[in-house]
Chain A
Amino acid sequence: MMRLTAFRIRNFRSITDTGWQSLSPDNITCLIGQNESGKTSILEALKVFYTGVISEDVLRSDLSLPEVSCRFSIPEGWLLSITDNPRPELRELLAGLDSLELTRAWIADLSSVVKVSGAVSQYLDSLEDAWKIYLGDVTLRLEEEMDNIDVLEASLENISRQESLLGSQLPSRDPAKKPFAFLSRKNGEETADAVVNPELYSELDDLRDKKDRITNELENKKLVKKAGEKWKEILDRYSMYEKHMSDLFLKLEERHQKLTLLMKPFDDEDVAWKSVLHDYRKTREDRDMIKSELDRHIAFSGYLLNGFSEAESEEKVSEIIQSYKSQYNSEMLGRKYFAHCPIFEFFEDFSSLLPNRIDLHDIISGNEQVEGYKAARNFLTIARLDYSFFQQRSSRIFKQKIENINQTLTTDFQDFWQQSIGRNNKIHIQFELDHYDASAGRKSGKPYLEFWIKDEGERLYPKQRSRGVRWFLSFYLELKASANINREMVLLVDEPGVSLHARAQEDVLKVFEDIRERIQVVYTTHSPHLVEINKLHRVLAIQRDDIDSMRSSTKVLDPLQLSSATPDTLSPLQSILGNPLPVEGASPGKFNLIVNDNGTFYLISAILHLTGSGNSISVIPSTGVSSIPLLCNILMGWGLDFLVLLFRNDMEEDIVELLPETVYKPGSNGKESIIVMPENFHNSEDLLSTLDFKNHILKTREGITVANSDYVREKEMPRNFIFSRFLSEVMDGDIRLSDFDEETNENFRLFIGKLNGHK
């Protein structure tokens, strides 16, 4: 369902950023490049995209954390079918997607999360942003309100002070002497004190009014104040965790730095380190919880600020949080979709080649650090054996079962060998269960598996056999085991050709071809025998930015960028293609223009000469339209820039569609390497007006009422001959640009303009 179409790797070993790199659409992608260029790093990065497990040694010296993104093609509408109840906008988006991007990003403790990226995450992020903006706005209002409350409280305090000061200036009253005096006061009558000191009393009254107002206002803001105080309290706690996190982060960085520089392996027994790691993870968890609490409290405060009661605000905030939580975020969807992504399996010598012997305990405990672990695991998977099998009491039945399994596997492998490679091989696979004897010390009495490869009576350990046999047998085990898993697979194969002889390397390619419909293969190689000349669209060239420095970052070049590749990088290609031709034909110093045949070669060369554009362009004739893709592959292999000139006839119009599929990768700038002439140019001779075609090429005066190319075809004229003669006359100066009419000149300008636009 999901097919890997492209990847992007950032901050992984020597890789800073590969940019998006498309895999070959026919499911086999080949990474070439010299040693230490970063080929294997790409495979490893893809592997850890799947497993999520990395160690410090993949970190770059600047300790920037890795990110691996993969783009998958998916059937349109499929995402919708695996996403429960998306909102209408998300539903619409998902329904229309035919590709999916997932990104795995690591954090300081080297744990990681997979998020959906690309179009889906843009939409989800916009929702999260809206929530963040809302919380930001409420926070600002809350801060403002808290400031207001502070000001009001300060005013109240000030007023109280003034009130008490004024009170002390007034004559003291004896309430006992004049009880309820105000009851006897008539309208308009002032008290005796007021009469005595009217301004002071008036001022006092003003102060009291003001005090009442402020007190009322503060009373109204009581809930907000309470909420604000709690917000500050949570914020303080959150800041404390943040601070602690950044301290721990520094410690982690320091450790990463040490391990990266010293290339020291991870020490499982380092208790202090484990404690830091534990602390970091715990603090992160706590911090995230406090952040949730903080966000919730801010949203709650927002409702209070809008005049809701505490109970109402609580209810509303629960609703909004519930609604927010019920929606997806990038991480949730990433997790969901990742569950459907193909399995990435890394096939490399140490773990994947069949060992001579392996402890049963190591297989059962999944100890990947043991040599041959994966091969042995594959073996047991295919044989459908688990631990209980090895606990059988009856050794006779047990031996018989093993014998049966050996026989079945042998037959299957011979079939595979015959079908995939087309040759017979009589080798027999055998495995046995045995136990260490007393001399094995700590391991004494423990079970182990032993493997044998038998051929015409000779029984040898896998490591005693040829490397080719061992590789193919192990690869067969990998494929066979993967067939038991009902998932797509991306098989990452590191240097399958190492130390295999040329014929065996070609057999490897045959196997890849055989499985590519169901398993995508990405492999690295130095070998010319593992690159097919007519399928250079499968090649990605890997090299360092600065070829002399192993500290510089890795660069990935797609087939159309091979002109930027160094000769060392391209050596596998140039081994099969030979070195670029000197002077005549393809040229590294010039722009190479591929044309359909020799006739067009002569004509276009003449036009380039006439228009003075010939110096910077080499015209390369194909031996017919159908050979153009092959020629493109050769030039790509030589790392030469090129353009393909295509006219509007049936064959060349097919090539317009075919080239991006067979030579360039989807998403690459393949289309930009093709010049397609407008509709009325069926072939190169249509670049001349009929009159010029007659005058300068045909040397005839007969009326021609069809396109020049149609005329040549109908009359079965020898294109090569007549155009070669024309070129000679042009080169000799017998025909000049001024001899052509305005129609021809206009066509020449159009052609040269297109050429310049593409160069």
Chain B
Amino acid sequence: MSSETQLTNEIISLMYNQSIDEHLASLRYAGIIQQALMPDSEHLDALFRDHFVFFLPRDIVSGDFYYALRYRHYICVAAGDCTGHGVPGALLSIMGISFLNEIMQARCEPRANRVLNFMREKVMKALHQTGEKSEAKDSIDIGLCVFDTESRKLQYSGANRPLLRIRNGEVSEFKPDKMSIGLAPVHEHPFTNVIMDTRAGDSFYLYTDGFSDQFGELTDKKFKHNQLKKVIASVSDLPMSRQGEILEDTFYDWKGNTAQIDDVLVLGFRI
């Protein structure tokens, strides 16, 4: 290799590395912005008696997001998972957060399912999804709750994401509608609204599929949804922060040295 060629290669390598560094810096900054859009611990403290968030993005930015907002006497809380991860997922998640803010502040009497119906309209419009041509098929899976602090009733509506409730150690799973926020394969249907009474001390959990889909180092199998439910049930009488720590330990123990395959989000709150 001539010295000229070598110099050229070195310059190219330097430029490449410099470019990577700049990209990483941009991404890290984007990650900070994304994190800033999600509620911080203080904000959640003000909304719930107790809570934890186990949020572990696979990359610097995440396709998973969580959301919490108090509007008049309603508290809206959600955990979403945008298709893909990394930058595309993060962009969609920011859109999702923004849509939720718009919808919640526009609707006088928020209904969980109508929030999702409307969010779907916004996503479809934003992504130009009409079902007529090959357009982006991106979508958001989300579990969303609206808690009325006056009537103490909780509404839940889910797009592929369930809700767990633990009452006196007993686990109840509220199944989501099997569709996501975005263009449906054939036809869009309305989301279902589940309304439940709450009791003091009830714990609720919203989560994405990153935890249960994680492969284990030892077994080479997915953690699975049922096992996640069991873990949550087993720690449910502990303070929420401790539950978060145990879930985090459990995740890392399970994953071992295998790669994290997706963003992970588990959000627990007690009312």
Contacts and interface: CB of A to CB of B under 8 A. Distances in A.
**Most B C-beta atoms less than 10 A away, residue of A691, A700, A704, A741:** A691
A705 B106 CA distance: 12
A703 B131 contact: no
Interface in A700-759: 700-705, 741-743
A689 interface: yes
B138 to A, nearest CB: 13
Contact of B130 (A689, A691, A695, A702): A702
A703 B128 CA distance: 8
Interface in B89-124: 111, 113-114, 117-118, 120-124
Interface string A669-691: 00000000000000000000111
B129 interface: yes
A748 to B, nearest CB: 15
Contact of A703 (B111, B121, B187, B193): B121
B183 interface: yes
Nearest to A692: B190
Contacts of B118: 690, 705
A705 B122 contact: yes
Given A691-B188, A741-B190, A701 B121 contact: no
B122 A743 contact: no
Contacts of B25: none
B190 A701 contact: no
Interface residues of A, number: 14
A32 B130 CA distance: 61
B126 interface: yes
B124 A701 contact: yes
Interface of B: 111, 113-114, 117-118, 120-126, 129-132, 183, 187-190, 193
Contacts of B190: 689, 691, 741-743
A281 B118 CA distance: 83
A704 B125 contact: yes
Contacts of A702: 124-125, 130
Interface in A447-477: none
Contacts, number: 49
Contacts of A691: 117, 121, 188-190
A690 B187 CA distance: 14
**Most B C-beta atoms less than 10 A away, residue of A701, A703, A742:** A703
B130 A705 contact: no
Given A694-B188, A704-B125, 11 more contacts: A689-B114, A690-B117, A691-B188, A691-B189, A701-B129, A701-B131, A702-B124, A703-B120, A705-B118, A741-B190, A742-B190
B184 to A, nearest CB: 8
Contacts of B117: 689-691, 741, 743
Nearest to B102: A705
Contacts of A694: 188
A79 to B, nearest CB: 45
A348 B73 CA distance: 69
A188 to B, nearest CB: 94
A695 B131 CA distance: 13
B244 to A, nearest CB: 36
Contacts of A741: 117, 190
B125 A701 contact: no
Given A689-B190, A742-B190, A743-B114, A700 B121 contact: no
B130 A700 contact: yes
17 contacts: A689-B190, A690-B118, A691-B117, A691-B189, A701-B183, A701-B187, A703-B120, A703-B121, A703-B122, A703-B124, A703-B129, A704-B125, A705-B121, A705-B125, A741-B190, A742-B113, A743-B111
A502 B249 CA distance: 99
B114 A703 contact: no
A707 to B, nearest CB: 11
Contacts of B125: 702-705
A716 B255 CA distance: 57
Contact of A701 (B111, B114, B130, B193): B130
Given A690-B118, A701-B124, A742 B193 contact: yes
Interface in A370-416: none
A377 B49 CA distance: 92
Nearest to A678: B108
Interface in A332-360: none
Query: Which are the 7 A-B pairs with shortest beta-carbon distances?
Result: A703-B125, A703-B124, A741-B190, A701-B131, A703-B121, A702-B130, A705-B122
